[in-house]
Amino acid sequence: MNKAELVQSVAAKTELTKKKTDEVVNAVLESIKEALAEGDKVMLVGFGAFSVRKRAGRKARNPRNGEEIQIPPSVVPVFKAGKGLKSSV
């Protein structure tokens, strides 16, 4: 399911227009992005939790020439499915 299909599905269930539903979906996604950018955790009970995780820097090898490269530390978003979502799938 892509974003357009999600908007269509939510619009059908809520009886809102697709335009209004698109605005709501965008607002929810933007709010999640902002919270993660601030380092907060977003917990949706029964669905799951979005959080950020710090990855340490590490050494790796370039597969083309075998040269060793340094990968810098980074912060990545993580999603952990909740019990309700796991049981429904």
Q: What is the pTM of this model?
A: 0.79
Using CA atoms, how far apart are residues 56 and 72, in angstroms rounded to an integer? 7
**Alpha-carbon Rg for the chain in angstroms:** 19
SS3 21: helix
* Domain 41-89: top CATH class: few secondary structures
Q: Tell me the average pLDDT of the chain.
A: 94
Using CA atoms, how far apart are residues 31 and 13, in angstroms rounded to an integer? 22
What pLDDT is attached to residue 22?
Answer: 96
Assess contact for 34 and 60: CB atoms under 8 A. no
Q: How confident is the model at residue 68 (pLDDT cuts 50, 70, 90)?
A: very high
pLDDT in tens, 1-43: 999 999 999 999 999 999 999 999 999 999 999 999 999 999 9
